[in-house]
Structure 1
Amino acid sequence: MPLTRKAYRAAILHSLADPAEVGVEASYEYFEDGLLVIENGRISALGHASDLLPRLPADIDITHYQDALITPGLIDTHIHLPQTGMVGAYGEQLLDWLNTYTFPCESQFADKAHAEEVADIFIKELLRNGTTTALVFGSVHPQSVNAFFEAAEKLDLRMIAGKVMMDRNAPDYLTDTAESSYQQSKALIERWHGKGRLHYAVTPRFAPTSTPEQLALAGQLLGEYPDLYMQTHISENKQEIEWVKALFPERDGYLDVYDHYKLLGERSVFAHGVHLCDEECARLAETGSAVAFCPTSNLFLGSGLFNLPMAEKHKLNVGLGTDIGGGTSFSLLQTLNEAYKVMQLQGARLSPFKSLYLATLGGARALRLEDRIGTLQPGTDADFIVLDYNATPLLSYRLKQANNIAETLFVLMTLGDDRTVLQTYAAGNRVHQR
């Protein structure tokens, strides 16, 4: 295979560390006139254009962007493929919303053609919004995961997904059994896990919809395949928490249910965590587990406000999630807009560099993929996006008033959306062009 080498010149910004741990100044690297060099799907060099240009071969293809910012591809640590068709459904909180909208919508994924159609729309939406990696819930049907992975594989995307395991407290047309969920998950793992840039996540929907037998088998799968992911929901809604206590009276609380069935670990991601206590945060951090912060859905479903400072205190890995379809936008820029407001309501600040971290390197760390994605460090996968400063008339005008990269970044995160993403690259290939 011939060596393919390309370079991209623009303002370039990426996270190096969590600002909560190293301070803002040490947390990022910014090149006002930067150059990113890609070889065979990986980043081979990053630096000031003036330093790198003289060292490059004369015939290298250089794309020069004016009024644009290159950042790592964005990482969505919690999203539901089968809920694409019900985004923005009116008027319910979590449990009623599941029964009224979610379960009927997910039932359509028994049909392979429907699953393939939605997988195509879903991936196009991710890429249009600059999301290059996502941790994805399928439906209870294996065909939902097959359709998603088939579409992702064609574009060589780094994606993680799993079939929902749900054997009680849901409509009969949408439940599996403990044994069938184990066998179907195992078949999907054998087919997809580690194929190209794809990974499998064991996916019990949440404690109330799984019997103890099913949760035990989910834990067994994690033991059988050591580098699998695990994704589920936790402490999103107060009614839900009370329900879990009633269903599992022998356990010490919601997190203890998952802990008992061996579902905590370095590749375990728990969505929401709005109502976690200090002890639960400490236990999640101790086991290397992560939480997906989903501000748009937490506001939309009236669930509550995630306590990011408490998570930081315990050095708990936190990623960002759009949580389509409880969330109302595929855009992680819009999700950060809401995250800022969630912090404001609690008297806390969310700096633009912490926001950048959450949407890139923080998500990569939550997924234990920081050696591959989430930064623009040489040696990592060439997953990056180009953000257009002139995407809308208001954005263009407002950014002309910005005095530094911190202000520019914050404006992109408050006024930006899918229109801001000019191009998306995955493994060095352009997979979206606005």
Structure 2
Amino acid sequence: MRVYRSALLRFADDGSALYDQDGLLAVAPDAAGRERVVAAGPWQALSSHYAGHPVTQLPGRIIAPGFVDMHIHFPQTDVIGSPADGLLPWLENYTFPHETRFADLAYGEQVAEFFIDELLRNGVTTALTFATSHPASVDALFAQAQRRGMRLITGKVLQDRHSPDGVRDETEQSLMDTEALIRRWHGVDRLGYAITPRFAPTSTPEQLRGAGALAARYPDVWIQSHVAENRDEIRWARELFPASRSYLAVYDDFGLMRERAVYAHCIHFDDDDRALMRDTGAVAAVSPTSNLFLGSGFFDYASADRVGFGYGLASDVGGGTSFSPFHTMLAAYYVGREGQTKPGLSLTPEQLWWQHTAGAASALGLGGVVGNLQPGCEADFVVLNPAATPLLARKTQQARNLAELLFALIVIGDDRVVEQTVISQAKYGPGA
């Protein structure tokens, strides 16, 4: 049993924030040896139950759930911050050339180590991530995540057409490789597999049909891809799949929309698309920094809520501009203010934080497992320092309520706020 005393942030089942200025968090290993939350709440109410256990005192700090990143590209770690005129030129000039290097396992291992370090340094404890079309890239990333005890989902990219040499795969072999990787990695420790068509235009109908067959054969694996990010991309998809009602409907036509299907962006939707997301249980990975950076458009929160489909936040590095959840939450606030059918939506700080923790976990089908600090959750959490910089200290000291405290962290905070990231018994950060 390990007991912590600190300010404590977590979320109720309805998404509302729960905050104890003087809180207690108790964690202990379960029968399988995986640490889980045993108790969380006010120190005064709970401390008598844990007398005799050593207590880690964290004065002036906040313990919060580890962040969940719903969409990120590990091989684009070195592509971040590359200038481009838009999505398709950015892929052609930067992303595809760089991803050819991941055929080399040793290169993939080196990038994967840095990538996992960067996630943990920024407080991200669960991630759904793209690898490349090379099976070696998947092996490299899974091995690094397994070594750290991290919960991570990834998969080999499927792209058998409209792709340059070095990243384009072969239809039948790509599907065989995908199934072999599922059998090798899915469900091992805290790892999960995602069937990963890059996006519809870079897969033949045969490859998408095969991916759908695998999704039916392995219903507990995830599916991830991109959709409706950019208007040029949408026109291209419609030209290639004229029989489908919409770009999104292409995936449904090939059996790739169901629970645990995660589609990044989902910007240029109509209500039929939104209803298709809702009815199939597919969810959106909202990627505000990449959408702003590439000029793709704005996710329509108001319409998503009106129709009722799930979503959560994602960094989308390397189109996204930062690993930091604070930067992502701030960009989502901008999108809420500017990019709605009814402009001026003001996402609350509690809503933004929920989208990057418990809400994202729920969207991934991992509600009650990660992204929260309620009893039974896996004990992934961050220790935050609200006085990490002079300006942040000055602002947070003036906070009159939780909303003002969280908003100050979102607007002014960055990786310096994350003092420690804790996964099971492993700690990352100063003093670890």
TM-score (ref. length: structure 2): 0.96
Instruction: State the match for 1:23 in structure 2.
Output: none
Instruction: State the match for 2:32 in structure 1.
Output: none
Instruction: State the match for 1:83 in structure 2.
Output: 76
- Kindly tell me: are residues 271 and 18 of structure 1, through their superposed partners in 2, closer, same or farther at Cα, counting changes over 3 Å? farther
* Cα distance between partner residues in 2 of 1:108 and 1:296: 26
Q: 1:216 aligns with which of 205, 209, 216?
A: 209
Shift in Å, 1:81: 0.5
Aligned length: 422
Instruction: State the match for 1:330 in structure 2.
Output: 323
Instruction: State the match for 2:46 in structure 1.
Output: 52
Shift in Å, 1:18: 4.8
Alignment of 1:368-383 (within 5 A): 368-383=365-380
Instruction: State the match for 2:351 in structure 1.
Output: 354
Judge conservation of contact 1:160–1:198 (CA < 8 Å) in 2.
yes
What secondary structure does 1:174 align onto? coil
Shift in Å, 1:314: 1.9
Q: 1:112 aligns with which of 98, 105, 110?
A: 105
Shift in Å, 1:319: 1.1
Q: 2:138 aligns with which of 129, 145, 160?
A: 145
Instruction: State the match for 2:5 in structure 1.
Output: 9
- Kindly tell me: are residues 270 and 67 of structure 1, through their superposed partners in 2, closer, same or farther at Cα, counting changes over 3 Å? same
What secondary structure does 1:322 align onto? coil
Matched, 1:172 2:161: no
Instruction: State the match for 2:261 in structure 1.
Output: 268
Instruction: State the match for 1:96 in structure 2.
Output: 89
Matched, 1:403 2:400: yes
* Alignment-mate amino acid for residue 19 of structure 2: Y
* Cα distance between partner residues in 1 of 2:388 and 2:305: 34
* Alignment-mate amino acid for residue 398 of structure 1: K
Matched, 1:161 2:154: yes
What secondary structure does 2:20 align onto? strand
Instruction: State the match for 1:314 in structure 2.
Output: 307
* Cα distance between partner residues in 2 of 1:430 and 1:378: 20
* Alignment-mate amino acid for residue 128 of structure 2: L
* Alignment-mate amino acid for residue 23 of structure 2: G
Shift in Å, 1:57: 3.7
* Cα distance between partner residues in 1 of 2:25 and 2:177: 42
What secondary structure does 1:372 align onto? coil
Matched, 1:66 2:62: no
Matched, 1:42 2:36: yes
Instruction: State the match for 2:274 in structure 1.
Output: 281
Shift in Å, 1:428: 4.2
What secondary structure does 2:99 align onto? helix
Q: 1:293 aligns with which of 269, 278, 286?
A: 286
Matched, 1:131 2:127: no
* Cα distance between partner residues in 2 of 1:220 and 1:122: 31
- Per mean C-alpha deviation after superposition, the further-off stretch among 229-238 and 104-113 is 104-113
Instruction: State the match for 2:334 in structure 1.
Output: 341
Judge conservation of contact 1:18–1:362 (CA < 8 Å) in 2.
no
Judge conservation of contact 1:383–1:428 (CA < 8 Å) in 2.
no
Shift in Å, 1:65: 1.2
Shift in Å, 1:172: 1.9
* Alignment-mate amino acid for residue 223 of structure 1: A
Q: 1:384 aligns with which of 377, 381, 384?
A: 381
Q: Which runs of 4+ in 1 moved over 3 A?
A: 431-434
Shift in Å, 1:51: 1.6
* Cα distance between partner residues in 2 of 1:18 and 1:276: 26
For residues 372-422 of structure 1, what are the alpha-carbon distances to aligned partners after superposition, in whole Å with 9 as ceiling and x for unaligned?
A: 112111111001111101111110111111111110001111111111000
Judge conservation of contact 1:15–1:353 (CA < 8 Å) in 2.
no
Identity of aligned residues (%): 47
- Kindly tell me: are residues 433 and 230 of structure 1, through their superposed partners in 2, closer, same or farther at Cα, counting changes over 3 Å? farther
* Cα distance between partner residues in 1 of 2:214 and 2:220: 10
Unaligned runs of 5+ in 1: 20-26
* Cα distance between partner residues in 2 of 1:16 and 1:105: 42
What secondary structure does 1:8 align onto? strand
* Cα distance between partner residues in 1 of 2:40 and 2:425: 14
- Per mean C-alpha deviation after superposition, the further-off stretch among 7-16 and 297-306 is 7-16
Unaligned runs of 5+ in 2: 30-34
* Cα distance between partner residues in 2 of 1:401 and 1:284: 42
Judge conservation of contact 1:387–1:420 (CA < 8 Å) in 2.
yes
* Alignment-mate amino acid for residue 278 of structure 2: A
Q: 1:363 aligns with which of 360, 364, 373?
A: 360
RMSD: 1.1
* Cα distance between partner residues in 2 of 1:233 and 1:72: 27
What secondary structure does 2:252 align onto? helix
Instruction: State the match for 2:18 in structure 1.
Output: 29
What secondary structure does 2:262 align onto? strand
* Alignment-mate amino acid for residue 48 of structure 1: P
